[in-house]
Amino acid sequence: MQWQPLGKHRYSVDGALILVETHGSLDPSETQLLMLAMSKLQDTQGQVLALFDVSGGASLPADSRRLIATWDRRAGRPAPTAIVGAGLALRTVATMVVQAIQLVSRKPSPLSFFQTQAEARAWLAEQGPPQAPPS
C-alpha cells in the first residue's frame, strides 16, 4: 500500500478504493486535494469507494462540507462511503452532509459506520460492481 500525503492526513488507492486516514480537521485545501484524487479515480475506475479511518481524529468545517457536496453533485454516482472510528458528533455531521447531497443530486449516497476496516471493506465490496470507466 503506497501512502500519499494529504496535508496532516494521508491516503492510499487500491483499484476504485481510496483509504483516507485523518488526523484532525480536514481543511478546505486538503479537501480539495482529496476531491481531485477521487475525481481521478472516478475517471479511471468508473467509480469511487471511499473508506475514511477517523480514529486519529477528524472534523469537517463548513467550507470543506460544501466542497464535498459540490464534488458529489458533479460525479456520476456519489461515492459509497464507509467511516471507521467516528464518534457521535462526526456521525451526525457526516449524515447531514450525505442527506444534503441526496437532496440536491436526487441520487442515493450510501454511507455507513463501522468499528473496523475489515467490516468497512466488506460493506464497500457489496456496494455494486465497478462501473466501466468512461471511454
Higher pLDDT, 124 or 104: 124
Residue 110 identity: P
**Is 90 exceeded by the pLDDT of residue 101?**
no
**Is 60 exceeded by the pLDDT of residue 120?**
yes
**Is 80 exceeded by the pLDDT of residue 87?**
yes
Confidence (pTM): 0.84
| pLDDT, mean of residues 60-82 | 77
**Is 90 exceeded by the pLDDT of residue 54?**
yes
49: left (phi over 0), alpha (psi -120 to 50) or beta: beta
pLDDT for the residue numbered 73: 54
**Is 60 exceeded by the pLDDT of residue 48?**
yes
Residue that has been written with the C-alpha cell 484524487 in this structure: 37
Q: In sequence order, what are the beta bridge partners of 59? A: 25
Alpha helix stretches (DSSP H) within the chain: 28-45, 62-74, 88-105, 117-125
pLDDT for the residue numbered 74: 56
| Ordered strands of the 9-14 beta sheet | 4-6, 9-14, 17-21, 49-53, 81-84, 111-114
Share above pLDDT 90 across residues of the chain, in percent, rounded to a whole number: 47
Alpha helix stretches (DSSP H) within 46-133: 62-74, 88-105, 117-125
Higher pLDDT, 104 or 27: 27
**Is 80 exceeded by the pLDDT of residue 131?**
no
